[in-house]
Amino acid sequence: SYVLTQPPSVSVAPGKTARITCGGSNIGVKSVHWYQQRPGQAPVLVIYDDSDRPSGIPERFSGSNSGNTATLTISRVEAGDEADFYCQVWDSTSDHRIFGGGTKLIV
């Protein structure tokens, strides 16, 4: 089955830019979605279809997808951004929704 690979953690200083990657075989042809999960809370959709933001999500959050890697970029990182981030795709071959293992953003 299709596998998504994320780094376990990413560290960034406040005010800097964080980049969280999601690797998968030819992931560039798939639509990638990103969720943020703060400690003790339910996940929240922050990016869908590679680079679109749901209403209410700050413009500091952006996404890209090409080749074998999708990337979530968070600009001007704030302490409140500290959370686990998960990428997700729909694998049409298996008709399953697949999550990456998650990345802990440490601010």
The binding track of 35-74 with respect to another protein, each residue x by CB under 8 A or -, is: x-x---xxxxx--xx----x--------------------
Q: Which stretch binds another protein (CB under 8 A): 21-29, 57-65, 66-74, 89-97?
A: 89-97
Q: Which of residues 21 and 37 has its CB atom nearest to another protein in the complex?
A: 37
Task: Indicate the pairing of strand 18-23 with strand 83-91.
Answer: unpaired
CA 43 to chain centre: 12
Q: Which of residues 36 and 71 has its CB atom nearest to another protein in the complex?
A: 36
DSSP string, 31-92: --EEEEE-TTS--EEEEBTTTB--TTS-TTEEEEEETTEEEEEE-S--GGG-EEEEEEEEET
Structure tokens at 74: 């968070």
Minimum distance, C-beta of residue 102 to another protein, in the bound complex (Å): 4
Minimum distance, C-beta of residue 98 to another protein, in the bound complex (Å): 7
Could you give the 3-state DSSP secondary structure of residue 80?
helix
**Which residues make up the interface to another protein (CB under 8 A)?**
1, 31, 33, 35, 37, 41-45, 48-49, 54, 84, 86, 88, 90, 95-102
